[in-house]
Amino acid sequence: MSERDKPVELTLDQCIKCNICTAACPVSAVSDLFPGPKYCGPQAARFRHPGLAVPADSVDYCSGCRVCNMVCPSGVRIAEMNARARAAVVEHGHVPIRQRIRNNLLARPELLGRLASPVGTLANRLARARIGRRFAEMALDIHRDAPIPRFAAERFTSWFASRPAPVTGASTEKQVVYFHGCSTEYYEPRVGQAAVRILEANGFEVIVPRQNCCGLPLLSNGEFAAARRYHRRNVANLVDFARKGIPIVGTSTSCTLTLKEEAPELLDLHDEATRLVAEGTYDWNEFLLLLIEQRRLQLNPRPVPLELLYHVPCQYRAHRLGAPGVELLRIVPELRIVESRADCCGIAGTYGYKKEKYDIAMRVGQPLFDTVTRSDSQVVLCDSETCRWQITHATGRRAIHPVELLAFACGLSETL
């Protein structure tokens, strides 16, 4: 068993009590409701005995941003410990029923998309009507000001199936499996369209197999049993491609992290199929840089004389890849990228939608919002969908995925 395959609890004895994680935690910095990663993580985990002790409810205020993991000098997997502790709180029935219903609703974007996208115009109006938002807050504790995204007029898979299919070779070396994720399918099909156009313009055959939600929202809300079912279905749908050596590529950094690491680690899934899918999954920027390095991709972008702010989300930094999006965009002539250097936008998936956590999320994200409003960048680049929605909600600035900018620079999209 590799070090990454060991239960996360086995790393708790590596904690040297330095408190660096607590000093860096964006949530404990703005709220006393979360005592800090060390106290809810390795410190508390030493006294937990399965079936005898239930973790303190304060662990639910951990946003799962993984900043603690990134700053820990000893390699303690604190965020994963907290996620498992939250799951124990849920399992033991310590979450009020109304909040658990709310959490399960927010954690199922695929179900919401399937139900609401056929009546997207009406759903969008209801979601933005103040009376509807007040009702959602009273009935389900979903904050009335949370950044609810709009359903797109057309689902990504509908566009993909109806577009004129390019003529491509059958070689697996020129095939790519695209994992679109819920946000691209229901809210931002333009992200997937940009990715497909770039790959197809370079002679790749894009395969969009059957897939479901990656399950990260369920993991974040402690609903591990449902998340396990989601992940196993995705593995079953993807493993044959992985066995053939066809790369699985995603534009949602949280989805790819879940397939690569988050679900296998938290759910103790270390079977061959799960491992093959994890090893065969790539982040979009990571994959394109690899193709460029192998001389299998020629983009030749046109000049884009802009200075744009780029926020690298927490989930992206957790990939431990550096900033591949920044590297990739350096190939665009005359484009100047300014990194935000902010730790977190605060939204943390579904965290900032909750009534009791909305204000915390906004305070956590304030340094980023200040950076955005001080900048001259009228468009902000960010790889995470919920981060983009949060940035636009807090600053009024439009936020897009870097793939959209790249498609525009390559002449594959008429507007930015």
What number of residues does the chain have? 416
Q: 148 to each of 126, 181, 379, how far by Cα in Å?
A: 11, 17, 19
How much is the pLDDT for 162?
95
The C-alpha atoms of residue 318 and residue 257 are separated, in whole angstroms, by 8
How much is the pLDDT for 241?
98
Residues 299, 328, 77, 81, CA torsion sign: negative
On the 0-12 / 13-18 / 19+ scale of CB atoms within 10 A, 386 is: buried
Please identify which residue in the block is written with the tokens 């870097």: 402
On the 0-12 / 13-18 / 19+ scale of CB atoms within 10 A, 396 is: exposed
Residues 98-140: tens digit of each pLDDT? 999 999 999 999 999 999 999 999 999 988 899 989 999 999 9
Residues 147, 148, 153, 155, CA torsion sign: positive
The C-alpha atoms of residue 157 and residue 350 are separated, in whole angstroms, by 24
CATH number of the structural domain 3-91:
1.10.1060.10
Buried b (16+ CB within 10 A) or exposed e, 35-63: bbbbbbbbbbbeebeeeeeebeebbbbbb
| Mean pLDDT of the region 185-200 | 97
How much is the pLDDT for 168?
61
Taking each helix axis from N to C end, the angle separating 224-243 and 272-279, rounded to the nearest 10 degrees, works out to 70
Residue 54: helix, strand or coil by DSSP?
Answer: coil
Q: What is the 3-state secondary structure (H, E, C) of 302-323?
A: CCCCCEEEEECCHHHHCCCCCC
Residue 61: helix, strand or coil by DSSP?
Answer: helix
Residues 31-89: tens digit of each pLDDT? 999 988 888 888 877 776 555 455 677 889 999 998 999 999 998 999 988 998 899 88
8 Å CB contact between 306 and 333:
no
Report domain extents, the chain: 3-91, 307-409
Q: What is the CA radius of gyration of the chain?
A: 21
The C-alpha atoms of residue 349 and residue 149 are separated, in whole angstroms, by 12
CATH number of the structural domain 307-409:
3.40.50
Residues 299-355: tens digit of each pLDDT? 999 999 999 999 999 888 888 888 899 999 999 999 999 999 888 999 999 999 999
Instruction: Give the DSSP H/E element, type plus range, for residue 336.
Output: strand 336-339
**Among candidate residues 274, 234, 236, the one with its CA nearest the CA of residue 252:** 234
Residues 245-294: tens digit of each pLDDT? 999 999 999 999 999 999 999 999 999 999 999 999 999 999 999 999 99
How much is the pLDDT for 48?
64
pLDDT reading at 170 higher than 70: no
Residues 5, 90, 179, 161, CA torsion sign: positive
Q: What is residue 12's DSSP assignment?
A: G
pTM for the structure as a whole: 0.93
On the 0-12 / 13-18 / 19+ scale of CB atoms within 10 A, 259 is: buried
Taking each helix axis from N to C end, the angle separating 130-140 and 97-106, rounded to the nearest 10 degrees, works out to 130
Instruction: Give the DSSP H/E element, type plus range, for residue 95.
Output: none
According to DSSP, the residues that pair with 339 across neighbouring strands are 310
8 Å CB contact between 346 and 63:
yes
